[in-house]
Structure 1
Amino acid sequence: MRMDIGAVAPEAYKAMLGVERYLHSSALPSQVLELVKLRASQINGCAYCVHMHSSDMKKSGEPDERIWGVAAWRETPSFTPAERAALALTEEATRLADSTGVSDEAWGEAAKYFDDAQLAALVVAIATINAWNRVAVTTHKEPGA
């Protein structure tokens, strides 16, 4: 690992952990939160976060088929319409540089399944996991470490 951000910049690290506490206490279903974290981490190529979130999902009782299926969620029948909407929003918000932003279609679909508080938490979750991915990839954080 290149650097331990938590040791070098503890206040920044604590602030990010504060956002995590908010997310885990929010009305966003924990399964959706973990799906979002795993999918964004896959897109961003963050091996550390993919390992952590797939392991967390396994420990929480998620079946292997759902964990493995996140990478191909559109072709996998294991996800609910709400989870699909969250995954679509995650992909568009994570790939901002490759698009013109988040489409009204993706936003509208998510808004069908999540109330304003949940939708706000979903947006914060997507932003936060993208930040964590960038920290872990930049510092070469090792999976399982």
Structure 2
Amino acid sequence: MEAKGSRLPNPVTFVPDLAEIGGALFKATGNGSVPQSTIGLMQLRAGQLVGSTYLAVLHSGNLRRAGESEERIAAVASWRDAPYFTDAERSALALAEAVLTPNPHGERVSDDLYAQASEHYDDKALTTLTMAIGQVCFFVPLALIGKPLPGRSAAEQWT
């Protein structure tokens, strides 16, 4: 069953600064310290974890257009057991999951997880990974509350 429209109209019409904020976040995470494919994989996993079809379709499409294989895109949901990811990518995915998943046994990002990620990423890259998680999380409320239409162009997703 296809959705008839989003819940909200285009939020940029009400808060024009959103376009500038989105652009600034994209520029900040595109600083070259982390491969864009890694950022895309993390953001796809974040969309899956928060249960947003819109974000999952958006980030899957971005990865596909960037040349990622269907196997890697599909396996993000089960990345721990999938053979398609490097140790560095696994560390990045683990950070995204840790931030977005409550931990009943203590802090979400343990010292061990941070140390593991530090083996693959320097301080600039770790900061960039942190911003990439924040970037997708910034848009989570709009995705879940506004419910833009997945798989549509930016002009058509808010109707």
TM-score (norm 2): 0.85
Greater helix percent: which structure? 1
Q: Does 1:117 align with 2:124?
A: yes
- The residue number in structure 2 matching 1:82 is 88
- The residue number in structure 2 matching 1:2 is 7
Following superposition, the deviation at residue 97 of structure 1 comes to: 7.1
Whole-angstrom distance in 1 between the partners of 2:21 and 2:11: 12
CA RMSD in angstroms comes to: 1.5
Counterpart of 1:86, as a letter, is A
Counterpart of 1:110, as a letter, is A
- The residue number in structure 1 matching 2:157 is none
Whole-angstrom distance in 2 between the partners of 1:83 and 1:21: 21
SS of the residue 1:135 aligns to? helix
Whole-angstrom distance in 2 between the partners of 1:97 and 1:48: 26
Whole-angstrom distance in 2 between the partners of 1:124 and 1:53: 16
User: Runs of 4+ in structure 1 displaced over 4 angstroms?
Assistant: 96-99
- The residue number in structure 1 matching 2:113 is 106
| Identical-residue share of aligned pairs (%) | 31
Deviations 1:88-127 (A, max 9, x none): 0000011247663211121111111001101000001111
Unaligned runs of 5+ in 1: none
Give the number of equivalent residue pairs. 145
Q: Which of residues 131, 136, 141 in structure 2 aligns to 1:134? A: 141
Unaligned runs of 5+ in 2: 1-5, 153-159
Deviations 1:62-88 (A, max 9, x none): 111100000000010100000000000
